[in-house]
Homo-oligomer: A and B are copies of this chain.
């Protein structure tokens, strides 16, 4: 029931994933059963999925903690409990982000040594993608939290992108060791003293360059940066439109460029990247964008599959114990 286009987009995305993947995994859809089944039967080829009924729906303007208490049978709570009880290997939702975070943390529990579970977002760069972590979960952070994000992000990138010993940069206002705010300066010391492959401070301009594999910041910075990045394609489209409107030659150039623009912009499109895993909880919980399309849902399911396959949460537990 999660996301602006639920349950239609969720059901369609799940069906696409099943069809495309050809039986590598099975899917349990969680939500108001009659609505889910109606969407299923509206599909041209109804996939074989089980449906678990969950009556409550957490709305986007609910306060997550209150909603989780009152709406105990939300698709989020019911779905996470299925995972908790071993009936599912992962849980995926494009629903209320706060509720996903709280429910995942409460019901699955935090891994040992993790004070704050975190979300990272993969950002395209000139080279290989960079994980921005925290991407919006924890807005007020202590230095220790940033350090934990670095450890968890490092495990995630090494697992999913196959990078051994990924480089970690600390987002700051200059490359020099002395640059930063109070929190980042102390986090710098923790990172420098660790066994991580710490590349020191990085600047805003270093992200798209692909200077590091993991860029660490608090969730306030991460969320603002991420949403700024997401808005670039729309900005360029608008600018190109007004460029094309200036002359016929421009219009032709614009038309010719369209395919290239699409190809480049596609990389910045969150729908391509699917959801982001909540790192630091004892399980696999993938959080999607509220505006998720069927394709985004499909990619979230693949993301869940990879995260399970690479045993990310188990490797994070090992790393946290090593770094404590």
Measured CB to CB, the residues of A under 8 A from B are 61, 125-126, 136, 139-140, 171-173, 176, 180-182, 184, 203-209, 217-221, 223-232, 234-236, 238-240, 243-244, 250, 252-254, 256-257, 259-261, 263-264, 267
**Smallest Cβ-Cβ distance to A219: which chain B residue:** B173
Cross-chain contact B140 with A181 (CB below 8 angstroms):
yes
A203→B229 CA distance, assembly (Å): 11
Apart from A204-B231, A208-B231, what are 17 other A-B pairs with CB-CB below 8 Å?
A: A125-B235, A126-B239, A173-B224, A203-B224, A203-B227, A204-B224, A205-B231, A208-B228, A208-B232, A220-B221, A225-B228, A228-B228, A239-B264, A240-B260, A250-B259, A253-B257, A253-B260
A250 contacts across to B, CB distance below 8 A: 259-260
In angstroms, how far is the closest chain B Cβ from the Cβ of A123? 10
A228→B225 CA distance, assembly (Å): 8
A259 contacts across to B, CB distance below 8 A: 250, 253
4 smallest beta-carbon distances between A and B, as pairs: A257-B257, A204-B227, A204-B228, A256-B256
With A139-B173, A182-B140 known to touch, is A226 a contact of B204 (CB < 8 Å)? yes
Max chain B CB contacts within 10 Å: which of A136, A140, A252?
A140
**Smallest Cβ-Cβ distance to A236: which chain B residue:** B264
A235 contacts across to B, CB distance below 8 A: 125-126, 208-209
**Smallest Cβ-Cβ distance to A231: which chain B residue:** B205
**Smallest Cβ-Cβ distance to A259: which chain B residue:** B253
